[in-house]
Amino acid sequence: MENKYFRASINSIPKDQSKLRNSAIPFFVSVEFQKEGLSVPIIQDSLVRCDKCKAYLNPFVEVINPGYKWKCNLCDTVNEVSIPFQMKERKTCENSADPLANSTFNKTYFLREELLNETYEIEAPDSFNVATPDQPILCFLIDISAEAMSLNVLSSVLNCIKETLKNIDYDKRTKASLMFYSESVYILNNNHAFTIINGDVPLILTERILFTLEKEGENSFFNINFDKIGRYFEARRSNYMNYLLALKTCVQAFRSATLFSFVSTTPNFEESRVETSASLICKNSSYKDIAESLVRKNICCNLFIMTRSSVELSSIKIPSQYTGGQILHYSNYDGCDASSTSKFYCDLSDYFNRETNFGAVCRIRANEGIVLKGVYGNFYQKGSDLLSYSNYNPCHNINFTIQFYNDVKSALYIQIAMARVVKNGNKLIRVMNICIPIGNVSFYETCDAYSIAHCMCLESFYYESKKKLGGKENLENKLTEIWKEIKTNYGKVPDSLYNLPVYISSLMKSVPFRPDISTPADFRGYYMYMLSNYQSKIVDLMIYPLLLNILTENVAPLPLSLRSIDQAGLYILDTGVNIFFYIGSKCDGSTIASLFDNPNSGPFLFNPPENEFSKYVSELVVYLMEGRSIKPKFVLANGQATSVYNDIFFSYMFEDSIYQLPSAIEFRNFLENKNK
């Protein structure tokens, strides 16, 4: 495809498709559906869809001369159009059975945009079934429990929201609302008085709690006295936190909205209470109930975890998971520390600068006999191939596995169509088409090891969440099954899959899977969320981080092993979530001073002194961060002094034997011996 919006675990369909049906290798597809920065044509012509399967016109269809008919590539139905498709010159495709030949022919000779582009937008007709929201509403729901106040969450969040919204060019219809919660919920009315809710949620007049985002005016959000609010809650500290009541208040208050929930501690009041444990299973079904209420109201819940202790994420993430919300985690948060607040400011700014969509409905179609086996990510599944998002966030991928029940004739076709409302209120349908043709080479040789590891990771999360098997054990068992099949059916390990044991060994030692009882459960849950939703560039780094010695002449990726560490070196370790700098115990002092004003270990703002070396490193960091949907946190580990951050850095040496797990070499030997 001309634009790489997707990645698949298998990139060629075998002629004998029974091999694919019986294979232990999952057929997994990860789609960066709304990749930012790419130009996608918007089509204003009337909709052209298949009469039988309702697929949209696309470059892989066969147009039948003289242009009044076209054959659907998903179901082979021949459809008619009243106005023929116009051509640049009259030609006939000599190999219309070949999907790639069809695509090349259509793009060369036809004028209709749907025949020229794998991805395009359509202006949805008024009759199209897309829920049109009222004015966009941003509701900021802020934890004011004693724990949150001790972390300076209230002041830092209010200041950051205010500064962020000042710099955003938002739709003029947009309104904002402020709510605060501990054991009670406090709603700020636009007369600047509070409505306090302690039990049952009363009728709420929505217009009385909304502020405009205009810079001036009586009801302007920017005229709120945030200092006064801070003093008001400083005198009302409570050790209780009633998150569920806050969410119920939002369900009562809004017909549609986008929530920004700031949480600093595990809910501990009445029906909101969640018992803490290492388990990843939801421990309070009320959060599933409220999540379904949010879905019905088209309310999206974004979750910002700002904490210095573990939070019971497995339960409180459910409202975000069901509604398409984004989750962001700030460990050891301190509202007075610039390294904490600057990342939060960047993340919030990035959110508002994205083309977030409202009331999205997504349908995934494929050839007849091809069905979705599993779908992973933050959404609400309305049917076997139908997903809904209260908000669709472009930083989220769509991940799914498919099962072959029938053979495909020439190629596997997948079409994803998402209808949604954009910020200015327009209804658009984005259509994306994927074609994976039948090939002459063994499909094993076209496998993507990172994609397979990603899928195994998501399946292991699922099994663990259902109490069927521990995630690490599932990874090992699945890889053993795959390795046995490859040796039996192919005779040798193809180059494409040689590193798969290294990636699985790495995953087994990573935050979500490692057998370390000291790993907080919310860290595991957050990493699972990221692996289930974020783009491949971040996922690959989470599977196998990037290690570089930036003092070598030719900087190149190094194995994740202590053998790679020269104590005279200076290293960058990119884990997808964080970027670590490690200063070797024998690293030259002048080199350190040229990059760090303060070389103490810990999170820091990367703003080095100006010199040639720092310029080179800054350019390298910019390159590493290019195209990411979420910014990493910078952490310094100085090997010239004792620090817990040195231990954290070395915990990523995944090719070594750590956590009582075998090294990558030992793990490969284990697989080979088990499948002799």
Domain assignment present for residue 656? The answer is: no
Is residue 197 one of the residues assigned to a domain? yes
Range name among 99-103, 160-164, 426-430, 620-624 with the lowest pLDDT average: 99-103
Pairing of strands 257-263, 194-197: unpaired
Q: Which of 471, 553, 459, 578 is nearest to 515 (CA)?
A: 471
156 within some domain: yes
Q: Which H/E stretch holds residue 177?
A: strand 175-181
Rounded distance between C-alpha atoms, residue 30 and residue 540, angstroms: 12
CA dist 47 and 176 (Å) reads 36
Question: Quick one: pLDDT at residue 2?
Answer: 46
pLDDT over 90 at 319, yes or no: yes
Indicate if 274 and 384 belong to the same structural domain: no
pLDDT of 99 above 90: no
CA distances from 276 to 266, 281, 313, 520, 616 (A): 8, 11, 9, 11, 46
Token pair of 347, please? 């993340």
CA distance 245 to 551: 54
Is the distance from CB of 8 to CB of 399 less than 8 angstroms? no
Q: Same domain for 594 and 639?
A: yes
Instruction: Give the domain-ending residue among 310, 337, 353.
Output: 353
Beta strands in 349-464 (DSSP E): 357-366, 370-376, 380-383, 386-392, 398-404, 411-421, 427-437
* Domains identified in the chain, total number: 5
- Do residue 550 and residue 638 come from a single domain? yes
Q: What is the pLDDT of residues 483-503, one digit of tens each?
A: 999 988 888 899 999 999 999
Q: For 647, phi and psi rounded to 5 degrees?
A: -65, -40
Where a domain ends, among 315, 338, 353?
A: 353
Rounded to an integer, the average pLDDT of 95-120 is: 80
Residue 64 contacts residue 71 (beta carbons within 8 Å): yes
pLDDT reported for residue 467? 66
| Average pLDDT estimate for 539-543 | 97
Rounded to 5°, angle at Cα 304 from 303 and 307:
130
Specify the CATH number for the domain of residue 290.
3.40.50.410
642-655: average pLDDT: 96
Chain segment 402-412, per-residue pLDDT in tens: 999 999 988 99
Query: Are the C-beta atoms of residues 399 and 376 closer than 8 Å to each other?
Result: yes
Tell me, yes or no, whether 344 lies in a domain.
yes
**Which residue range(s) make up the domain with 231?**
137-353
The conformational region for residue 157 under phi > 0 = left, psi -120 to 50 = alpha, else beta, is alpha
Residue-level pLDDT at 639:
96
Quote the pLDDT of residue 124: 83
The reply to whether 668 falls in a domain is no
Q: Does residue 320 sit in the same domain as residue 435? A: no
CATH number at residue 60: 2.30.30
Same-domain pairing of 230 and 268: yes
- Structural domain contains residue 293: yes
What percentage of the chain's residues is helix, strand, coil (to nearest 5)? 35, 25, 45
Say if 128 falls within a structural domain: no
Residues 166 and 271 in one domain: yes
CATH number at residue 535: 1.20.120.730
Q: In 10 A of CB 547, how many CB atoms?
A: 25
Where a domain ends, among 353, 380, 395? 353
**Which of 128-132, 371-375, 479-483, 507-511 is predicted least confidently?**
128-132
Are 180 and 196 in contact by the 8 Å Cβ rule? The answer is no
Distances (CA, A) of 635 to 10, 587, 611, 632: 36, 17, 21, 9
Backbone angles phi, psi at 10, to 5 degrees: -130, 130
CA 525 to chain centre: 13
Q: What percent of the chain has pLDDT over 70?
A: 96
* pLDDT tens string 188-209: 999 999 999 998 888 999 999 9
The percent of residues above 90 in pLDDT, for the chain, comes to 72
Q: Residues 153-178: what's their mean pLDDT?
A: 90
Separation between Cα atoms, residue 510 and residue 652, nearest integer Å: 8
Q: Residue 455 pLDDT > 90, yes or no?
A: yes
Among the listed residues 129, 254, 118, the one whose alpha carbon sits nearest the alpha carbon of residue 179: 254
- pLDDT interval class at 42 (50, 70, 90): very high
Instruction: Tell me which residue of 262, 266, 261 sits closest to 309, measured CA to CA.
Output: 266
The rounded Cα 91 to chain-centroid distance in angstroms is: 44
Question: What pLDDT score does 130 carry?
Answer: 65
> Does residue 560 sit in helix, strand or coil?
coil
pTM of the model: 0.94
For the stretch 579-604, pLDDT in tens is 999 999 999 999 999 999 999 999 99
- Helix (H) / strand (E) containing 316: helix 313-316
192 shares its domain with 48: no
**Does one domain contain both 5 and 29?**
yes
| CATH at residue 30 | 2.60.40.1670
CB 433 within 8 A of CB 58: yes
> What is the C-alpha to C-alpha distance for residues 544 and 363, in angstroms, rounded to an integer?
32
Residue 466 has pLDDT above 80, yes or no: no
| Token reading at 596 | 């760090």
Asked if omega into 66 is within 30° of 0 (cis), the reply is: yes
Residue 182 counted as domain residue: yes
DSSP 201-214: -----GGGG-EE-S
Whether 410 and 462 map to the same domain: the answer is: no
Q: Are 362 and 283 found together in one domain? A: no
Check residue 94 and give its pLDDT.
Answer: 59
Q: Which two tokens stand for residue 325?
A: 């919300």
Q: What is the pLDDT of residue 507?
A: 96
Q: Is 196 exposed, middle or buried (0-12, 13-18, 19+ CB in 10 A)?
A: exposed
The string of pLDDT tens digits covering residues 5-31 is 899 999 999 998 988 888 999 999 999
Evaluate if residue 98 carries a pLDDT over 70.
Answer: no
Same-domain status, 62 and 143 = no
Q: Residues 494, 514: one domain?
A: yes
- Scanning 22-133, the segments in alpha helix (DSSP H) are 99-109
Confidence (pLDDT) at 96: 58
Instruction: Judge whether residue 3 has pLDDT over 50.
Output: no
Residue 102, pLDDT score: 75
Q: Are 143 and 263 in contact (CB under 8 A)?
A: yes
pLDDT digit string (tens) for 146-161? Answer: 999 999 999 999 999 9
Mean pLDDT of the chain: 91
CA distances from 633 to 558, 583, 597, 601, 637 (A): 21, 17, 18, 14, 13
Strands of the sheet containing 633-638, edge to edge, are: 546-549, 570-574, 578-583, 633-638, 602-603
Q: What is the pLDDT of residue 581?
A: 98
